Amino acid sequence: MARYVKVSSVSVKDGVNYSGDPSRDLKLETDRMIDSWNRLLSRVLPEKPDLIVLPEACDRYHNYPLSRRLEYYEVRGDRLLRFFKEKAYENSCYIAYSAVRKLEDGTYRNTTQLIDRKGEIAGLYNKNHPTIGETEDGKILPGKDARVIPCDFGKVACAICFDLNFDPLWEKYKPQKPDIVLFSSAYHGGLMQNYRAYQLRSYFIGSIMNLENTIINPVGDVVARSTNYFGYITHSINLDYKVVHLDYNWGKIRNALTKYGSKVKMYDPGYLGSVLLTSETEEFTIDDIIQEFDIELLDDYLDRCLSYHAEHMEK
């Protein structure tokens, strides 16, 4: 059955001053940061999204020298976390809040905390692959775990900035089959966004500091993006989907589309050989269609190809 989820991505634009005054009282600077995010969230909250994704280290003044930044973290404490928890609860939505955290042992992590509709922490992810400079200069240690976080609409995976480059993280996520990847970043990543979406067969929501935000479908096509004028987007995505290869499925897909018409949708990105199938009705799921027409999923087909190659390998 169609399973639409409304998602928003918000970055820092629209005249919000994201440079801090290192000489100013840090409590007042924290107040100003909260005011800034209150204004930024007001751009998307009227659309009643189910999920809002924020950029990497979203509550940090990026012009602070390290010593002042660490002082700011002490004064900031969990005030921004409490603010986002209140917003999530008041608006019955999930918020992916990305920020630097200080742990009890005095070390730091670059973390995405996913806040649920009740204002509670549904799960968190510590950036597995910080840059060398983040650890040498910023005292941020790499995380070691990467677990999908269950939500009431599906499963999400988180990644942060430099993570986009490293296969070990994505290989951890692949068998967990997330529905959506939440990407909070200060760097865009270009084609790697599209590749990771396709690699995981997942939707990909990118919230990029002062750059283009993107929503990418599981066959690697951008379906929504922000512009130079507006640093936010809201878009509905259907999580009742499957990715299938066209090989051995051409006729089966045509038969499904002929029988059910607009109740089944095929999205073809072109040149890839794989398409996205979705159920657009309350009458049946896409799994029902897969079963009825004996359609082979992309990953099953690729596994079958590998087995066939191994059996027929040259001597």
The model carries a pTM of 0.96
pLDDT score recorded for residue 61: 92
What pLDDT does residue 12 have?
Answer: 79
**Could you report how far apart the first and last alpha carbons of the chain are, in Å?**
48
pLDDT of residue 14: 52
Q: What is residue 13's predicted lDDT score, i.e. its pLDDT?
A: 64
DSSP three-state, residue 200: helix
Could you tell me if 264 and 257 are in contact, meaning their C-beta atoms sit under 8 angstroms apart?
Answer: yes
CA distance 59 to 185: 13
Contact predicate 199/73, CB 8 Å: no
**pLDDT digits (tens), the chain, 315 positions:** 999 999 999 997 654 556 788 889 999 999 999 999 999 999 999 999 999 999 999 999 988 999 999 999 999 999 999 999 999 999 999 999 999 999 999 999 999 999 999 999 999 999 999 999 999 988 999 999 999 999 999 999 999 999 999 999 999 999 999 999 999 999 999 999 999 999 999 999 999 998 999 999 999 999 999 998 999 999 999 999 999 999 999 999 999 999 999 999 999 999 999 999 999 999 999 999 999 999 999 999 999 999 999 999 999
Give the residues across from 295 on adjacent strands. none
In this prediction, residue 15 carries a pLDDT of 46
Let me know: does 225 contact 201? Beta carbons within 8 Å.
no
User: What are the DSSP E strand ranges found in 22-93?
Assistant: 51-53
Q: What pLDDT is recorded for position 20?
A: 83
Per-residue pLDDT, 16? 52
Of residues 65, 120, 72, 137, the one with CA closest to residue 99? 72
* 3-state secondary structure (DSSP) of residue 54: coil
Amino acid of residue 128: N
